Structure 1
Amino acid sequence: MDIVTLLPFIVLIGAMFLMTRSAKKKQQAAVNMRNQMQPGTGVRTIGGLYATVKEVSDDTVLLEAAPGVHLVFAKNSIGAVLEDAEYNRIVHGDEEDGLGGDTPIVPDDASSLTEPGAVVDPAGDAKIDLGKKGAADDAEPAPGAKGAKSDDKSGGDTDAK
């Protein structure tokens, strides 16, 4: 056989080998990460639940999602083992020392959109035109159904055939 005939098969086998090798490396890294879990470690499950590890067994993990709320998960359902600083920042809202200085604080309400000292009287607000018809158009109701357009067709005749 000619080498040119075998070349596509060799390339295909090489590509399959490289893809399975990278997948095995990722899988091994995930197993190592899950084996490093210890009680007291913060984790995120693949479903997005943040919890603290209480006990680790061979293929299950006991997590505490809230004080007194204990959940049993499979080890494979742990998506990430978090560092203490990152876990406290996400779950408890603790800020790191470097973040509190120059970042602007965004208020939870719309109070920053008004000028300081401005008093808004809700009863004195002008009505906003939402595109409704004027009073003259509503004076004469159209023949036919209430709110239906008048198109000069009577007796249910339509253009459809």
Structure 2
Amino acid sequence: MRTTHVVVVMGVAGTGKTTIGPLLADRLGVPYAEGDDFHPQANIDKMSAGIPLDDADRWPWLDAIGGWAHDRAGLGGVVSSSALKRAYRDRLRAAAPGVVFVHLTGSRELIEERMSHRQGHFMPTALLDSQFATLQPLEADEAGVAVDVAGGPEEITERAVNALSELPHAVH
């Protein structure tokens, strides 16, 4: 299976974007880009200190991800980005109009439990509340699917592939 779409794997911290993204890219036959790699050092320092990012912090990061997605338009790719607000997704769509979102969803309890087992990640569990407070789920007019993160990585990836294949302009 290969796609020419750019898929943004989104969701709050701890939903598995960094795990599911590469698996999904492999299944779709396209390259993967880790959204965290697009953060400037100042953002990483801020989050590491337990300080949530504000919109001014996020715009350059989203623009960098949008630039990557723009460059992959028609070629396909998968990139991770929390993309928590509609405005953030709109900014990504402005840069790369054909992007499709996979929103990884799950209960706060499950996500917090998974975050507590992560090693060496800059996002502390303490910022999870701010992530959920910021989250605006995909709206009906946004190209994308919601995928529950209960289960193992392969199961979640399979769910994502199946959901994407059911979109009106299916991702194949």
After TM superposition, the score normalised by the length of structure 1 is 0.17
Structure having the higher Rg? 1
Choose between structure 1 and 2 for higher RCO, CA contacts under 8 A separated by at least 6 residues. 2
Structure with higher strand content: 1
